[in-house]
Amino acid sequence: MQKILLKSKIHRVKITDANLGYEGSISIDEELMEKAGIVSYEKVAIWDVNNGARFETYAIPAPRKSGDIIVNGAASRLVQIGDIIIIGTFGIYDEKELTGFKPVLVYVDEKNHALSS
């Protein structure tokens, strides 16, 4: 049997911009994507701590160490600049892969830069 588990999350990042005119996606600081194991165009879940909005989109990289977290396209109507969000990814795992499994958790400072782990 396979199970869907949290693969990684970037915890409590701040929205730095919202761009309605862009086709879609969320732009995430490339360094944060790497630390969370998120690849370009990977499906991500977004949970807005401020307003409770929950939606899915795909990730694209923003400039490395920029701290940018930009919600693009229609989803930009669901957030406000300054909102705190959690970005999650999921994977499908066989039961034998579950022993000792732990998701990757990335925590950030007030400027959306990864804290040392």
> Mind listing the pLDDT tens digit for each residue in 72-88?
999 999 999 999 999 99
The pLDDT, as a whole number, for residue 46 is 98
The pLDDT, as a whole number, for residue 24 is 83
What's the sign of the alpha-carbon dihedral 33, 35, 37, 43? negative
25 is catalytic: yes
What's the sign of the alpha-carbon dihedral 49, 53, 58, 60? negative
Q: Domain spans of the chain?
A: 2-96
Confidence of residue 116 (pLDDT cuts 50, 70, 90): confident
- Active-site entry in 8, 22, 40, 58: 58
Residue 70 clears pLDDT 80, i.e. is over it: yes
Calpha distance 73→56 (Å, rounded): 12
The sheet with strand 84-94 has its strands ordered as 17-19, 69-72, 26-29, 54-62, 43-48, 84-94, 2-14, 104-107
The continuous run of DSSP H or E covering 36 comes out as helix 30-36
- Active-site entry in 8, 25, 27, 76: 25
58 is catalytic: yes
Whole-angstrom distance between the N-terminal and C-terminal Cα of the chain?
Answer: 33
- Tell me: the pLDDT tens digits for 20-52? 998 889 999 999 999 999 999 999 999 999 999
The pLDDT, as a whole number, for residue 117 is 57
| CATH of region 2-96 | 2.40.40.20
